[in-house]
Structure 1
Amino acid sequence: MPRVALVLNPAARGAGAALVHVERACAGAGLEPPWVLRTTRADPGRGQAEEALAAGCHRVVVAGGDGTVREVAGVLARAAPATSAGEPPVLGVVPAGTANLAARGLGVPLAAPGRAARRAVSGPPRTVDLGQVQLRSSDGATRTLSFLVLVGVGHDARTLAELDPAAKARLGWLAYLTPGVRRLTSAARPVRVRLDGGQERTEQVWSVLAVNTARLPLRMQVVPGARMDDGLLHVVLVAPRHLADWGRVLRSGARVPLGRRSRPDLDHPALRHRHGRVLELGLQEAGPVQVDGDVVPDILGARIEVLPGALRVAGPTGARR
């Protein structure tokens, strides 16, 4: 079998342990030790994935957070169908970041890194959807990024922009709570929204989320019932009018509130859900956009789409979330 490549983010919280588990998983599968390609600030995963594919590696395992997974996934989805194994490459994920939202959405066992590594190295592949966003900055420049989890526009992105890196390193995903709570009462802003080429509407929203997968810590979900292989882009318009509306938002994300499974209220003004394939957004003034937790500043517009079945991932991903 072709050698496994491991794209490792050495700055990730669990990088050292992830490396050990992947080495053990390769040995257990009768494979050579993984070819370790470490990311850098200048190249957070794309170059390493391209190098692995150029060398004929059929399976590329990522040990890092959502940003590293996003970079590698985009390269693998764009790869030519034929590799040294005669078929498209496979992405394996060993969570080593802070929130690990992509790993949650893919059904990776976060509490069992050894099992996650075995799935990543030798688990059977499954096809899932990948998101792609084209961002337009205030100077007219554009850039295209892939995503597995979601794109956030508005106060969602501003919350991440305010995140203290030291607190993130110390507290993990709990560090997201303080800036998030601080922004709960922030005013809505106008965003131009067009879904699947329909009529453009200007919405007053706290945030717009374009979601591919939906799992969060504490068993919460951005879009209950969404699947990573359903071929849909799930759009959430978050527009709470007062603090009480945040209770509705919270209840919508809970998997099992008060003993019964929740479902989003599609018609409530505080939280509206739509789905389609292509979402176009326009901002009145330039601001940040977050792509799988990575904040891109100074953005005026975005074209977001889902690419059904564009990526092969290792191990079971779970039929429903």
Structure 2
Amino acid sequence: MPTDAPPEAITGPGTDTGTGPGGRRAALIINPTKSPADDVRDAVERFSAEEGWEAPLVLETTEEDPGQGQVREALDAAVDLVIVGGGDGTVRCVAEELVGTDTLMALVPLGTGNLLARNLDIAVDDPTSAVEAAFRGTERSIDVVHLTMDRAQDAQVFLVMAGLGYDAAIMSDTREDLKDRVGWLAYVDAGIRNLPGEPAHASISIDGAAPFECRLRSVMGGNCGKIMGGLEIFPGAKIDDGLMDLMTIAPKGRLGWLAVLGKLFVRGRGKDPSLQYHQCLTAEVTLREPLEVQMDGDALGAATHLLFEVKPRSLRLRMPLGYKDPAVVSDPLP
């Protein structure tokens, strides 16, 4: 299967994706614990009928299999479109199996963060609109980043961002009961509680160059730049430019976090070393002591070594028609 796909032609409603004589078919892979799962299922069935597609294949994720097995079943059924109904973790698991294939993916965000959907202007509070975009939107090919922890044999993938240190501690320490009550503000609570801490010694190599040494609280790789509230933490990051943005956070002293916030709000401009950026195809991070790791919001445990590798434009994605934020994609139209 190709992994470095060329830019895809822009497609719109009714585009034939080259299915067999039985007609086109979508698969809905959905987390049944998310609300409103039943409404999403009904919408996918309705739009399939309206577009003249076959009845959709509906597959539910489980605690034991959060998406990968369901994708393999959908691919075996030769579906043309895989619609993911769930949060960032479910989206990541499904994408991991679709990377390098010719099968389209679309999102119906049902989680708390929904970071990829927010970056791509997919409705996070209107599942019916998201389902409509899945069938009638435009197609793009986006980058995917492979992340290998502690030199494991197999890599995992992320679509938005991954990191170790402070940001991962937030994800692992966020209270689930608070998420249910106040949504993404629960991450703010965890962030405040994890502000105190000691920096870690890291060795970082960018695109195979000689490593540089630093002491930091966090290092993050970003495939696109926006988080909740529209804050752009990776200025200039584009999801289809073939590059990853690497950010190191190294506040100095008790007031050091103010410098970090200040540089974030001026989109990374300035010479303050508390927040630094690099663009790259690969990055390798080695620590003396293990730190927590997160990937698209999922806490993955602690590690001392991370290898990031970009796979340019290796995932076909359907998103809403209309103008795209040039801070997210290389070509803002259509």
Match of 2:286 among 282, 285, 301: 282
Greater mean deviation of Cα atoms: 271-280 or 70-79: 70-79
| Displacement of 1:185 | 2.8
Alpha-carbon displacement from aligned partner over 1:84-141 (angstroms, at most 9, x marks no partner)? xxxx1100001001100111122212243222111112323211111110111xxx75
For the pair 1:171 / 2:193, whether they are aligned, the reply is no
Paired residue for 1:82?
none
Q: Which residue of 2 aligns with 1:75?
A: 97
Structure 1 residue 118 corresponds to structure 2 residue 125: no
Query: Which residue in the other structure is 1:223 paired with?
Result: 234
Specify whether residues 175 and 17 from structure 1 end up closer, same or farther in structure 2 by C-alpha distance, changes over 3 A only: farther
Distance 2:126 2:261 in 1: 28
Q: Distance in 2 between matches of 1:253 and 1:159?
A: 18
1:54-74 per-position Cα deviation (integer Å, ceiling 9, x unaligned)? 110011000001111111111
* Whole-angstrom distance in 2 between the partners of 1:319 and 1:31: 33
TM alignment of 1:46-61, pairs within 5 A: 46-61=68-83
1:25/1:113 CA distance change after superposition, 3 Å: same
Paired position in structure 1 for 2:64? 42
Alpha-carbon distance between aligned partners in 2 of 1:44 and 1:92, rounded to the nearest angstrom:
17
Q: CA deviation at 1:252?
A: 4.2
Q: What stretches of structure 1 of length at least 5 have no aligned partner? A: 80-87, 255-261
**Contact conserved, 1:124 with 1:314, CA < 8 A, in 2?**
yes
Go from structure 1 to structure 2 and tell me whether the alpha carbon gap of 1:12 and 1:143 turns closer, same or farther (over 3 Å shift): farther
* Alpha carbons 1:191, 1:205 under 8 Å: kept: yes
5 Å matches for 1:132-281? 132-136=146-150, 141-254=152-265, 262-265=266-269, 267-281=271-285
SS in structure 2 at match of 1:63 = strand
Which runs of 5 or more residues in structure 2 are unaligned? 1-22, 329-334
TM-score, length of structure 2 as denominator length = 0.85
Q: Is the 8 A contact 2:232 2:267 kept in 1?
A: no
Shifted more, 223-232 versus 88-97: the winner is 223-232
Q: For each residue in 1:170-190, what CA deviation from the matched residue of structure 2 results, as whole angstroms up to 9, or x when unmatched?
A: 322111111111112322111
CA contact (8 A) 1:13 1:169 kept: no
Paired residue type of 1:53: L
Identity of paired residues, percent?
A: 35
> Which residue of structure 1 aligns with residue 297 of structure 2?
293
**In structure 1, what is the equivalent of residue 327 of structure 2?**
320
Q: Deviations along 1:231-280, whole A, 9 cap, x unmatched? A: 111011111114544334334444xxxxxxx4312531111111111010
Q: TM-score, normalised by structure 1?
A: 0.88
**One-letter code aligned to 2:229:** L
> Structure 2 CA distance, aligned partners of 1:214 and 1:222?
6
Residue type of the partner of 1:121? F
Question: When the two structures are aligned, how many residues end up with a matched partner?
Answer: 303
What is the one-letter code of the residue matched to 1:228? Answer: I
Q: Structure 2 counterpart of 1:249, which letter? A: V
Backbone CA RMSD of aligned residues: 1.9
